[in-house]
Structures are given as structure tokens and as C-alpha cells.
Structure 1
């Protein structure tokens, strides 16, 4: 397991943010700025992403969850709320189901199962062969709606560079973690209060995919859909996402 690179602000109840494949803690900047006065906000980089080291073994989502718990141990955090987006949402589902330290959870643009395994193995192979820079433009066009990309060229460049700077092996190994992820039959193990947030324009995890999670958990759940928004509404609809999180974790 690994202690991950993290950023932490504020002194309130801990709220942990876990991002997508190919992201860094920058995915959460609007929420970290807005919520640090009411919570201790902590964002992490997955292993092999951002400033976290590459570990040269194929992880499971359970391994990635253990990384988060080890990191929180190093920060002196016991109970916490968890917010996960995409890959981070898978990790957050696992934590919410298995760790008694989780008090509430929010799952953003994620899934209990992301397509078929072969697609992820193919993407891992392509990443190792061609590098993350070869994927960055296509990834960003799934992350954000066309009108947002047109109106925010500087931010587009920033997030393309984020994806392109992800170590190819770190990205590929996390693709392989998603290949083996299927929590469809375990959603009922999640008994804490759950918020799901979907992007109306998300081609990767459309609203129906988030509704499956909201309907499947055993705890109280609330499902929200934001529009316009694609796969990363934390950046595209920051005020709306922040308000929903603040209300849910209050």
C-alpha cells in the first residue's frame, strides 16, 4: 500500500476528496476553496498520479482504498466523509461499504461497474505504448461539455496538461484496477447516507448509471443531475456541486 500525496485545509470535520483517472487534486480546487471554512478538506492523488509515487504492481480498487486509509492514518484522521468522482467514486463506494470510519458519502459521475474489462485492458496497453499525452484531448472532451470547452480555453489547456502529465504506467495500472471493478452486487453494503451527482451530458457515466447506485445502496440516498455538465461537474458547475456537498455533509 502507499501513503498518497495529499493537500489539507481547514480544521473542521474531515471531508476526503478522491478524483478520477488522470487527475490530480486540482480537480477539487473550487470545493477546497469553498468548503475549508466549515470542514477539514483533504484531497489525494491516486498512486501513480500527480505527486504520488508509481507502484509497479496492478492494484484493485480495494488497494486504492487502502492507500486512502493509510494516508488518513498518517494525517491523524479517524472518521470522515468521502467524496469520489469516477475512479475516485469507485474507491469511495468501496470505503463507504467496508470502512466503519466513513460517516457519509457522495458519489459523482461514477459507476458500480465501468463497462467491460477488455476496454480497460486495451486502454492500459495503448497508454503504455503511446503515453498519456496521446489520450489527453479525447479525455478532456469527455470530461467537459462542448460549450464549456469553447468558453474556457485556458482551463481546457490546464486540464489537458493534467492528464498528459500523469505517468503512463500510473494511468495504465489504474485502468487495470477499473477492469476488475464490479460492485453491482455489493451496493447494499453501503448503509451511510449517500448523495449521487450526475452530469446530464456525461457520456461516460450518464445519469441512469448514478441512479443505479442511489437505488442500490441500503442507506438513505439523494440523486441529483446537473446541466449543463459532463464528467467533471466539480469544475463545470462548481457552485452547484459545492452547495450540494455542503448540504449533504452538514
Structure 2
């Protein structure tokens, strides 16, 4: 295994016009791209944060991974990404930095809280859990996608990702997200599945001392609200919230409600 290379996308600002804004690092859900997942929320958060989203290897603008990686190595790659942005002047280390991640991006957020306490002033864990699915399920999915490609995941993901009626009302958003999945590198997708197969922080949550907000979508069958409640109860300083209209991709499904929760949390955490 090895630390993967991550690709960052500045969603709202350049280094020149972001002076004075804290950084919010945004993590993806498996199969999605940074722009497609987080783009809808930019109008609601862009005035308050320098928004930097990262893509999984082989997804969106991400460079495909050449080897398997663990969730700890993925979290380490996020740290390397942030340090690189600081050295390039794209992130101001003198200002607070926050993190919000969806699904596998949320799992990476919990791993960041465990392995790098204090790096972020607050962690938002969205539509995620301390353990997602089963090792057997992720291993089977990895093997299938590595052989047959990510198009095999499109129909099932459309059912899991969105709340009832969302696809019909929001064809542009859903099409962009599903196209990202279809175009994702199959081996990189499989590597991410194997990282999730080995991820289980249920017994480690009490060691996470950063402020944590766990957000669930009310219609999420993958990571239901009970998972968010368990995360909030397990960490040292946690709270949970529900987006009533969302399933598994809350920032894209209801960006206004999700942004409101993030703003309330990040502006109330230590160091904000």
C-alpha cells in the first residue's frame, strides 16, 4: 500500500482574492467528483470560506492510483495536499482550516481527527459513519468494478445517492454526478472500495478530540441518521444533525440546508 496522490480544486477563489478567509477543505463521496458534488454549495459558503475540494484518485480531476491504499494513507494524503497548498500560498496557515467530507470523504475526516488532532478546527462528517458497509461487500464490489468497470455501479448508485423525486427535479445535477461515476478509473474505484473494507473506527471514536458535526440525510439507506448519532455520541466533542430532504449526497441534494448547518457549526467551533 502507498499514500495516494490527490488533486485539489479551488471552487470559489484564487490565491489573490481569498485573503482573510479561513479554508474549508471538502472531501468527496465514492464515485463523485469535487466540482459535481460540492459545486451547488459554493453560492452559500463562498463568501465565508476559501473552498478547496479534493478528488479521489481516478475520479473527476484526480490522477489514477497505481496501488491499493488504506484510509490512514488517504488521510495522510489529505494532509500532504494541505501542506502543499500552504507552501504554494493557496492556503493561509495563519487562519483556521476546517474539513467537511461526504461518505468516504467523511470517513477520511474521522481518520484525520484520529491521526492529526488539531490540524482542523472542526470536522463535518456528512452522510458517513465510523464503519460503512461490510468488508465482504466492499471486497466484492472492488472485484466487480476492477473486472467490469464503473458503469456497473451507475444504476445502483442512482438509487442509493438521491432522495425520492430528486433525479426527476434535478436532471443536470444528477447527470453530472452519474457521469463522473461512469467515467471514473475502475482500478482507482476498486482501491477506494478496499480502503473502506478495512475501515472501522467504532472503537477509536473516543480518541477524536476535534469538534465534530455528523450530518445525515433523512433518506440515506447507506449511512442512516443512526450512524451520525453514533459518531456524535462517540467522539469527545460531537453533535449530529439531519437534512430532511437528502439521502446520501446532501451537499448536492440540498446545498442550502447543508451549508446552513456547516456555517452554524464552523462559526461556533474553537478558533473560528
For 1:85, the equivalent position in structure 2 comes to 102
CA contact (8 A) 1:90 1:112 kept: yes
Q: Distance in 1 between matches of 2:105 and 2:171?
A: 26
Residue among 54, 57, 65 paired with 1:47:
57
The CA deviation at 1:228 is 2.1
User: More displaced, 130-139 or 207-216?
Assistant: 130-139
Whether 2:207 is the aligned partner of 1:199: answer no
Whether 2:201 is the aligned partner of 1:183: answer yes
Whether 2:268 is the aligned partner of 1:244: answer no
CA contact (8 A) 1:47 1:64 kept: no
Q: Distance in 2 between matches of 1:87 and 1:117?
A: 14
CA contact (8 A) 1:2 1:71 kept: no
Whether 2:38 is the aligned partner of 1:21: answer no
CA contact (8 A) 1:22 1:166 kept: yes
Whether 2:69 is the aligned partner of 1:59: answer yes
Structure 1 portions without partners, runs of 5+: none
Q: Distance in 2 between matches of 1:71 and 1:200?
A: 32
- Tell me the TM-score normalised to structure 2 length: 0.88
- Tell me the TM-score normalised to structure 1 length: 0.95
Q: Distance in 2 between matches of 1:193 and 1:172?
A: 31
Q: Deviations over 1:64-85 (max 9, x none)?
A: 1111111111110445211011
Are residues 159 and 93 of structure 1, via their aligned partners in 2, closer, same or farther at CA, if it must alter by over 3 Å?
Answer: same
The CA deviation at 1:55 is 2.0
* Matched ranges for 1:103-182 at <5 A: 103-182=121-200
Q: Distance in 2 between matches of 1:115 and 1:2?
A: 22
For 2:270, the equivalent position in structure 1 comes to none
SS of corresponding position for 1:150:
helix
Q: Deviations over 1:194-227 (max 9, x none)?
A: 11111111010000011110000012x2211121
Q: Distance in 1 between matches of 2:47 and 2:155?
A: 35
Give the aligned length.
249
RMSD: 1.3
Q: Deviations over 1:15-42 (max 9, x none)?
A: 1000111111121112233212211111
Q: Distance in 2 between matches of 1:182 and 1:111?
A: 9
Structure 2 portions without partners, runs of 5+: 268-272
Q: Distance in 2 between matches of 1:135 and 1:55?
A: 19
Q: Distance in 2 between matches of 1:71 and 1:217?
A: 25
For 1:7, the equivalent position in structure 2 comes to 9
Q: Distance in 1 between matches of 2:259 and 2:153?
A: 29
